[in-house]
Structure formats: structure tokens, C-alpha cells
Amino acid sequence: MTAVSESSTDLRLTWGDVAGETGYRLERSADGAAGWITVATTGPDVTSATDAGLAPGTTFYYRVFAWNAGGDSPASDVASATTTVDPASPTAVEASTVSSTQIDVAWSDVVGETGYRVERSADGATGWIVVATTGMDVTSATDAGLAPGTTFYYRVFASNAGGDSSTSNIAVASTAVDPDPAPEDADGG
């Protein structure tokens, strides 16, 4: 039997199939020794289940029984896994005007992330689109190809195997306005 974390609240359990079973019963314990509770029952030939709604950052222990009209098999070996923990929200998000078409976004690094996602909105409330993703410990991104003289809103999420953080603070910046072209001489020269 194996147990692996799928998210900060879900663990995936798999086991080998046996012949002649009517189904399987999956049990969970907080310490692997006592307090076993049934968390799933399956039909025949089903060799996996997900235990959902668990506490983040917690270790759980599992065993499985095959059953049929004759009763239960002996318990499988015990497997354990720990739910992941969502990363903290990025802080100190700042957006800085670089030019009439570019804004840079920077933020403070958080512990336990594997990357970041930067989103932009035209009004700071709706229509958020992803404009950049970064790797672990990368704390800045560039948003280019923007319209001159326009205000944009930015937010950042940290990610890891457990999922995404809650949103950061929202930062705002406007692209610069392109200068008007130089006036031509009245006589054409």
C-alpha cells in the first residue's frame, strides 16, 4: 500500500488487487496503532481511493482490508503520508513603471513555495489574467507590451504542491504616456 499527498487536504492511497474480493475497506489512524476509522469502501478490483478534507501539514496512517462473503482479509501493511501546507501569501507587492509599455512587479519571498503567479486586472476587482509565472525564490516579473498611459492592478500568489496561497496585497501602477511628437515648422522645414 502507498500513500501520497495530492494537496494540502487530500491524500491518495493505492494498493494491489487480490483475487476473490467483493471490495476493499480503507481505514485511517492518527498514530498508526489505534483509533482506526473507515474512510472509504470500494467495489471489486478498485485499488485506489482519495481521503479528502484533511488538516494541512498532518501525518495520517492507513491500512486496507479486502473483504468478501467469507469475511475480511488480514490488514495490509500500514502506509503513511503527510498533507502538504499551502505557502504563505506574498507580501510587499509593488508595481513600478518602467516605460510607456512596461511595468515591473516585485514582492517579498515566502518560505515553502515552489513558484509564483502574477496576475493583472484593469480595475483591480475583476478580469484577472496571468501575466507571469516564476520559479522558486524568484521575486520579480515584468509585464510588457502594455498600452501607454494606462493604469493596471497586480496581485501575486505563491504556489507549491499543496496549492496556491491566498492573494497578496494589490499593487497599482500606470504606464508612462508617450510624449507628443515634436511640432513641425510652419513652413515645412
Sequence-separated (6 or more) residues with CB below 8 Å from residue 36:
27, 28, 29, 63
Tens-digit pLDDT profile for residues 75-88? 999 999 999 888 89
Distance in angstroms (rounded) separating the CA atoms of residues 169 and 119: 12
With residues binned 3-state (H G I as helix, E B as strand, rest as coil), the percentages for the chain, rounded to 5, are 0, 50, 50
In the predicted structure, residue 147 carries a pLDDT above the cut 60:
yes
* pTM of the full structure: 0.65
Tens-digit pLDDT profile for residues 23-81? 999 999 999 999 999 999 999 999 999 999 999 889 999 999 999 999 999 999 999 99
Q: Are 100 and 176 in contact (CB under 8 A)?
A: yes
Domain architecture of the chain: domains with CATH: 2-82 (2.60.40.10), 91-174 (2.60.40.10)
